[in-house]
DNA sequence: TTTTGATTTAGAATAATTCTTGATTTGTCG
DNA sequence: CGACAAATCAAGAATTATTCTAAATCAAAA
């Protein structure tokens, strides 16, 4: 945790408004004049890889960053651009329902899942029988 | 519906594998040698605006295109990169459950909603009392 | 203190997408 | 049929977010 990483993380924690990398950069500069945009990108990536921060994307807009590690969805206001966290309605594994804040109007919802399709899950299963290592084969294929 | 648009649309309909713009371009070229990537982008945008096609994004990867207009989610295989459509488990408005294909392993799920936050919904409400036109005020603000 | 390795910086490079401009096609009307 | 207007297309330049590169800096260990 270097000074720059600490600062970038603090910026994210101070206002939980899902800033873009550029916005983080502007806020960080106020406190550490010499910091560069590249460093902000580096720090955001490091923090994301470390699991302290989540990268949030909507369409092809610039990525936004969120230090909320609880399971949640995101609500993007089409009018003012604000981004809110939305908590799950219950602890049933996230497949079912969200606590939409009172007054918000949802016009569209997008759901994306990531994982292994049947075929790849099967291959991994058989690979792990041979090697005993579940993650190795996936990593090997992912390297393509 | 011009020749190029028809072709791009047919390419999407032929294989429902969510190709990127470049992939659409490669397939389209086979049937209309002179078509350009810019035209493919134009056509995809036109088709999307017309509501015949949906643009599908995961993270910052190239956009993919999908002619399935039914409500559905997307499943991205982390190993082979395949993208599958996932149907809702019931017709309850999409808040609740998805028919994950047998054998698929979901490791992560992302939910994004778009709409109007409480404040903007309230403003629009009061605007429409004055003007009688719900969409005008939103459009005006969106133009910023 | 020197070394070592990681991190930061600035700017160049990249990749997807959009924009611009001129050419082409299409539809319409005489 | 032929001319004109409007829409569309093509080619390449431009844009934008992001990543890469290489040199400079820093921090901890020896």
Residue A138 has pLDDT above 80, yes or no: no
Mean pLDDT along residues B65-84:
95
Residues A117, B100: Cα–Cα separation, whole Å: 10
CA-nearest residue to B58 within chain A is A112
| Closest by Cβ to B105, choosing from A57, A101, A121 | A121
| Residue carrying structure tokens 């909603």 | B113
Reduced 3-state DSSP string for A118-142: HHHHHHHHHHHHHHCCHHHHHHHHH
A5/B contact by beta carbon, under 8 A: no
Mean pLDDT along residues B118-125:
91
The nucleotide minimizing the C1' distance to residue A62's CA is D17
Query: Could you tell me what percent of chain B has a pLDDT over 70?
Result: 86
Residue A122 has pLDDT above 60, yes or no: yes
- What residue segments make up the domains of chain A, in order of their start? 3-66, 114-144
Mean pLDDT along residues A27-53:
97
| Nucleotides on strand D lying under 7 Å from protein C-beta | 8-13, 16-21, 27
Instruction: Give A18's DSSP letter.
Output: -
CA-nearest residue to A74 within chain B is B112
* Candidate from A4-8, B41-45, B120-124 with smallest mean pLDDT: B120-124
Q: What is the pLDDT of residue A97?
A: 75
Q: What is the pLDDT of residue B91?
A: 59
Residues B57, B118: Cα–Cα separation, whole Å: 26
* Candidate from A117-121, B28-32, B86-90, B101-105 with smallest mean pLDDT: B86-90
Residue A142 has pLDDT above 50, yes or no: no
Query: How confident is residue B114, by pLDDT bands cut at 50, 70 and 90?
Result: very high
Distance from CA of B143 to the nearest CA of A (A): 9
Distance from CA of A52 to the nearest CA of B (A): 16
Q: What is the pLDDT of residue A92?
A: 58
Q: Quick check: A113 and B79 CB within 8 A?
A: no
Mean pLDDT along residues A81-101:
79
Query: How confident is residue A106, by pLDDT bands cut at 50, 70 and 90?
Result: very high
Give A42-67 pLDDT, tens digit per residue: 999 999 999 999 999 999 999 999 99
Does domain B3-66 fall into CATH 1.10.10.10?
yes
The nucleotide minimizing the C1' distance to residue A41's CA is D18
Q: Quick check: B103 and A95 CB within 8 A?
A: no
A83-86/A73-77 β-pairing: antiparallel
Query: Could you tell me what percent of chain A has a pLDDT over 70?
Result: 86
Q: What is the pLDDT of residue A65?
A: 98
Higher pLDDT, A91 or A82: A82
């Amino acid at each position: 945790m270097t000074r720059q990483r600490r600062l970038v993380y603090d910026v994210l924690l101070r206002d939980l408004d899902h800033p873009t990398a550029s916005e983080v950069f502007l806020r960080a500069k106020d406190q550490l004049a010499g910091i560069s945009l590249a460093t902000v990108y580096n720090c955001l990536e490091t923090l994301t890889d470390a699991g302290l921060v989540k990268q949030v994307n909507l369409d092809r807009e610039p990525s936004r960053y969120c230090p909320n590690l609880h399971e949640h969805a995101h609500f993007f206001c089409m009018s003012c651009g604000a981004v809110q966290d939305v908590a799950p309605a219950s602890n049933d594994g996230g497949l079912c329902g969200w606590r939409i804040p009172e007054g918000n109007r949802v016009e569209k919802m997008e759901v994306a899942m990531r994982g292994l399709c049947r075929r790849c899950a099967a291959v991994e299963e058989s690979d792990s029988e041979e090697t005993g290592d579940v993650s190795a084969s996936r990593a090997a294929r992912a390297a393509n």
